[in-house]
């Protein structure tokens, strides 16, 4: 059955080219939202299906990634509300087969594992702000919340992540914890009491030795 929205051949080919060139990046984004590999693939497929009929409405194709991310976020939120389940299964951690080359596999797996402790909204804010490098304003628009809510949510999420990573001895978090503890110990150390200057007690006018008095008189 033909789609209700008419899309010319060039737009269709453009969309296919976009999918071929960006599918790995989109899958990485999806894995950060729903780390289960099967769910992530379903999320990308659903987002692409929802985007295709509207592809010709995206005048600036350079914004296509942001558009797809918004669709994936909305789709994932719909799934979560419908299932009323935690979106991250405790026994299915993401593998490191999809790597962007910026982190070692073990560190990446630990980070993704730590994200499990976050509430769904906290996870979304962290992913958009730190992985997708979106600004506070862009994140607020993507998630339909105020910039103040984005900031407070991010603050709580990072504090929770820091606690989780420190408990699991993640290298960066451990170094940060040690540095913070050293700074706190330095601040808690009592300041040294300065030694008072000895001024001495006045013992009357200075007297010139007798042997010197004659020399002075001469």
Spatial separation of the C-alpha atoms in residues 143 and 69, rounded to whole Å: 10
Whether 127 and 154 share a structural domain:
yes
Looking at residue 126, its pLDDT comes to 84
Percent of the chain scoring above 70 in pLDDT: 58
User: Of 91, 114, 131, which closes a domain?
Assistant: 91
Q: Using the Cα atoms of residue 31, residue 34, residue 38 and residue 39 in order, give the sign of their dihedral.
A: negative
How many Å separate Cα 4 from the centre of its chain?
A: 40
The range of the structural domain enclosing residue 125 comes to 102-186
- Write down the H helix ranges in 62-170: 64-83, 105-114, 120-126, 136-143, 147-167
pLDDT digits (tens, 9 = 90+) for 55-93: 988 888 888 888 898 889 888 877 766 654 444 433 333
Q: Does 46 have pLDDT greater than 80?
A: yes
Please give the average per-residue pLDDT across 138-152, as a whole number.
87
Q: Which two tokens stand for residue 186?
A: 């330095």
CATH number where 27 lies: 1.10.1740
Range list of β-strands (E), 23-107: none
Query: By the 8 A CB rule, do 161 and 117 touch?
Result: yes
Spatial separation of the C-alpha atoms in residues 12 and 120, rounded to whole Å: 34
Residue owning tokens 């005048």: 59
Lowest mean pLDDT among 88-102, 134-148, 151-165: 88-102
Q: Does 109 have pLDDT greater than 80?
A: no
Q: Does 173 have pLDDT greater than 90?
A: no
Lowest mean pLDDT among 44-48, 86-90, 105-109, 161-165: 86-90
Whether 64 and 129 share a structural domain:
no
Looking at residue 172, its pLDDT comes to 55
The mean pLDDT of the chain is 71
Residue owning tokens 């900031």: 151
Looking at residue 59, its pLDDT comes to 84
More confident residue, 54 or 191: 54
CATH number where 158 lies: 1.10.10.10
Number of domains the chain contains: 2
Spatial separation of the C-alpha atoms in residues 137 and 160, rounded to whole Å: 23
């Amino acid at each position: 059955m033909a789609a209700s929205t008419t899309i010319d051949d060039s737009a269709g080919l453009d969309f296919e080219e976009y999918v071929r060139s960006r599918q790995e990046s989109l899958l990485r984004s999806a894995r950060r939202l729903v780390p289960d590999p099967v769910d992530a693939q379903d999320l990308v497929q659903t987002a692409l299906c929802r985007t295709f009929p509207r592809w010709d409405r995206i005048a600036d194709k350079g914004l296509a990634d942001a558009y797809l991310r918004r669709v994936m976020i909305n789709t994932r939120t719909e799934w979560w509300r419908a299932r009323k389940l935690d979106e991250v299964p405790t026994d299915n951690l993401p593998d490191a087969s999809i790597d962007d080359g910026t982190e070692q596999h073990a560190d990446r797996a630990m980070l993704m594992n730590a994200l499990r402790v976050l509430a769904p909204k906290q996870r979304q804010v962290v992913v958009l702000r730190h992985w997708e490098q979106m600004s506070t304003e862009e994140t607020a628009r993507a998630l339909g919340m105020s910039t103040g809510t984005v900031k407070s949510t991010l603050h709580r999420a990072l504090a929770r992540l820091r606690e989780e990573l420190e408990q699991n001895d993640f290298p960066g978090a451990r170094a940060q914890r040690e540095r913070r503890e050293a700074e706190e110990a330095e601040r808690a150390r009592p300041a040294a009491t300065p030694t008072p200057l000895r001024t001495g007690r006045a013992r009357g006018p200075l007297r010139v030795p007798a042997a010197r008095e004659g020399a002075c008189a001469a």
